[in-house]
Structure 1
Amino acid sequence: METKALLSFKEGLTDPSGRLSSWVGEDCCNWTGVGCDNCTGHVIKLDLRNSLPVIELEFIEGKYYPTEDDDYSDEKIKAYEKSCLGGKISPSLLNLKHLSYLDLSLNNFSGNTIPKFLGSLESLMYLNLSFSFFSGVVPPQLGNLSRLQYLDLNSVSFSSYIQLVISFPPWGLEVKNLECLVGFPSLRYLNLGGVNLEKVPDWLHSVNMLPSLGELHLVDCKLASLPHSVFSNNSTLLSVLDLSYNHFDSLIPHWLSNLSSLSTINLAYNWLRGAIPDGMGHLANLRSLELADNDLIGKIPNSFLNLCNLQTLNLQSTNISGEVVEFLDGLSQCSNSSLEYLDLSKNIFLGGNLPYSLGGLKKLKIINLFESSVGGSIPYSIGNLMSLQILDLSRSSVWGSIPYSIGNLTSLQTLDLSDNQMNRTIPESIGKLSMLVALRLYSNSWAGFLTGAHFQNLTRLKLLWLDTKFSSKWTLVLDVKHDWVPPFKLRKIQLRNMKIGPKFPAWLQTQNKLRLIVLDNVGISDTIPHGLWKSCPNVTFWRLSGNKLHGQVPYFEFPHWAYYFDLSSNNLEGPLPLFRSNLSLLFLQNNMFSGPIPENISELLPKLSWLDLSSNSITGRIPHSIGMLKELIGLVLRNNSLSRKLPPHWNDLQDLLVLNLAENNISGSVPSSMQYLKSLELISLSQNHLEGELPFFFRNYRNLQILDLGGNKFSGKLPAWIGESLSSLLRSNPSMFRKLQL
Structure 2
Amino acid sequence: MGHDHFQILPLILLTLLVSVEASPKSIEKEMAALVKFKESLNDTYGQLSSWIGEDFYKWKGVGCNNETGHVVKLDLGSIEGLGGQISPSLLDLKYLTYLDLSRNDFQGIPIPSFLGSLEQLIYLDLSFASFTGMVPPHLGNLSNLRHLDLSQNPYHNSWAADLYWLSGLSSLEYLNMDYVNISLATTHWLQTINMLPLLNELSLARCRLTNLPPSLLPSSNLTSLSVLVLSRNNFNSSVPQWLFNISTLVDLELDYCSVKSLYPHVASGNFCGFRKLGLAGNDIGGDISEVVRNLAGYTENSLEVLSLSSNRLSGQLPDSIGHFKKLRWISLDGNLITGPIPASVGELSNLNYLDLRQNNWEGYLWQNHLQGLAKLNIFMISSSLSSRKALVFNISYNWVPPFNLKLIAISHCDVGPKFPAWLESQTQLNEIYLTDLAISDTIPHWLWKLSSNIGTLDLSNNQLRGELPISSPFSTGTFVDLSSNRLEGPLPLLPNVSYLNLANNLFSGSIPAIDDIRVPKNDNIRTDCPNRLLD
TM-score for both structures, normalised by structure 1: 0.62
Alignment of 1:106-505 (within 5 A): 106-155=103-152, 159-160=153-154, 170-200=155-185, 202-229=188-215, 230-273=217-260, 275-278=262-265, 300-303=266-269, 307=272, 309-328=273-292, 337-352=301-316, 354-405=317-368, 406-420=370-384, 421-428=390-397, 431-450=400-419, 453-468=421-436, 475-478=439-442, 480-481=444-445, 485-486=449-450, 489-505=453-469
Is contact 1:154-1:191 (8 Å) kept? yes
Which residue identity lines up with residue 445 of structure 1 in the other structure?
D
Task: Choose which of 99, 103, 106 in structure 2 pairs with 1:102.
Answer: 99
- The aligned residue for residue 13 of structure 2 is none
- The aligned residue for residue 620 of structure 1 is none
Q: Return the offset for 1:153.
A: 0.4
SS of structure 2 residue aligned to 1:301: coil
Which residue identity lines up with residue 422 of structure 2 in the other structure?
H
Deviations, residues 270-293 of structure 1 (Å, cap 9, x unaligned): 344455353xxxxxxxxxxxxxxx
1-side partners of 2:137 and 2:299: how far apart? 50
Structure 1 residues 171 and 483: alpha-carbon distance in aligned structure 2, compared to 1, 3 A threshold: closer
1-side partners of 2:330 and 2:340: how far apart? 15
Structure 1 residues 242 and 349: alpha-carbon distance in aligned structure 2, compared to 1, 3 A threshold: closer
Please state if 1:517 is matched with 2:517: no
1-side partners of 2:66 and 2:399: how far apart? 56
Is contact 2:439-2:462 (8 Å) kept? yes
Structure 1 residues 478 and 326: alpha-carbon distance in aligned structure 2, compared to 1, 3 A threshold: farther
Structure 1 residues 116 and 465: alpha-carbon distance in aligned structure 2, compared to 1, 3 A threshold: same
SS of structure 2 residue aligned to 1:177: coil
Q: Return the offset for 1:377.
A: 2.1
2-side partners of 1:251 and 1:239: how far apart? 21
SS of structure 2 residue aligned to 1:182: helix
Matched length: 497
1-side partners of 2:451 and 2:468: how far apart? 19
1-side partners of 2:375 and 2:250: how far apart? 26
- The aligned residue for residue 57 of structure 2 is 29
Which residue identity lines up with residue 209 of structure 1 in the other structure?
M
1-side partners of 2:259 and 2:290: how far apart? 25
Structure 1 residues 334 and 430: alpha-carbon distance in aligned structure 2, compared to 1, 3 A threshold: farther
- The aligned residue for residue 86 of structure 1 is 83
SS of structure 1 residue aligned to 2:37: helix
Task: Choose which of 502, 523, 528 in structure 2 pairs with 1:563.
Answer: 523
Is contact 1:541-1:562 (8 Å) kept? no
- The aligned residue for residue 54 of structure 1 is none
Which residue identity lines up with residue 436 of structure 1 in the other structure?
L
Is contact 1:402-1:427 (8 Å) kept? no
Structure 1 residues 493 and 430: alpha-carbon distance in aligned structure 2, compared to 1, 3 A threshold: farther
Is contact 1:418-1:442 (8 Å) kept? yes
Q: Return the offset for 1:211.
A: 3.0
2-side partners of 1:476 and 1:318: how far apart? 39
Structure 1 residues 14 and 494: alpha-carbon distance in aligned structure 2, compared to 1, 3 A threshold: same
Please state if 1:17 is matched with 2:45: yes
1-side partners of 2:209 and 2:291: how far apart? 33
Deviations, residues 685-725 of structure 1 (Å, cap 9, x unaligned): xxxxxxxxxxxxxxxxxxxxxxxxxxxxxxxxxxxxxxxxx
- The aligned residue for residue 603 of structure 1 is none
Structure 1 residues 115 and 559: alpha-carbon distance in aligned structure 2, compared to 1, 3 A threshold: farther
Structure 1 residues 433 and 425: alpha-carbon distance in aligned structure 2, compared to 1, 3 A threshold: same
Alignment of 1:657-676 (within 5 A): none
2-side partners of 1:350 and 1:205: how far apart? 36
Which residue identity lines up with residue 381 of structure 2 in the other structure?
L
Q: Return the offset for 1:125.
A: 1.1
Which residue identity lines up with residue 442 of structure 1 in the other structure?
S
Please state if 1:553 is matched with 2:517: no
Deviations, residues 563-587 of structure 1 (Å, cap 9, x unaligned): 22101144553xxxxxxxxxxxxxx
Is contact 1:376-1:398 (8 Å) kept? yes
2-side partners of 1:431 and 1:487: how far apart? 20
SS of structure 2 residue aligned to 1:24: coil
Q: Return the offset for 1:50.
A: 0.5
Structure 1 residues 486 and 116: alpha-carbon distance in aligned structure 2, compared to 1, 3 A threshold: closer
Q: Return the offset for 1:488.
A: 6.8
Is contact 2:150-2:178 (8 Å) kept? yes
Q: Return the offset for 1:115.
A: 1.2
Q: Structure 1: any 5+ residue segments left out of the alignment?
A: 52-82, 161-169, 279-299, 574-591, 594-742
Structure 1 residues 517 and 274: alpha-carbon distance in aligned structure 2, compared to 1, 3 A threshold: closer
Is contact 2:424-2:447 (8 Å) kept? no
Q: Return the offset for 1:90.
A: 1.0
Which residue identity lines up with residue 145 of structure 2 in the other structure?
L
TM-score for both structures, normalised by structure 2: 0.84
Q: Return the offset for 1:457.
A: 2.3
Which residue identity lines up with residue 97 of structure 1 in the other structure?
K
Which residue identity lines up with residue 139 of structure 1 in the other structure?
P
Is contact 1:50-1:84 (8 Å) kept? no
Which residue identity lines up with residue 353 of structure 2 in the other structure?
I
Q: Return the offset for 1:38.
A: 1.5
1-side partners of 2:41 and 2:412: how far apart? 54
Which residue identity lines up with residue 410 of structure 1 in the other structure?
A
1-side partners of 2:523 and 2:219: how far apart? 58
1-side partners of 2:344 and 2:250: how far apart? 30
Q: Return the offset for 1:446.
A: 2.7
- The aligned residue for residue 5 of structure 2 is none
Which residue identity lines up with residue 69 of structure 2 in the other structure?
G
SS of structure 1 residue aligned to 2:433: strand
Structure 1 residues 194 and 327: alpha-carbon distance in aligned structure 2, compared to 1, 3 A threshold: closer
Structure 1 residues 365 and 320: alpha-carbon distance in aligned structure 2, compared to 1, 3 A threshold: same
Alignment of 1:525-674 (within 5 A): 525-529=488-492, 532-533=493-494, 536-537=495-496, 539-557=497-515, 558=518, 560=520, 562-570=522-530, 572-573=532-533, 592=534
SS of structure 2 residue aligned to 1:14: strand
Structure 1 residues 355 and 145: alpha-carbon distance in aligned structure 2, compared to 1, 3 A threshold: closer
SS of structure 2 residue aligned to 1:374: strand
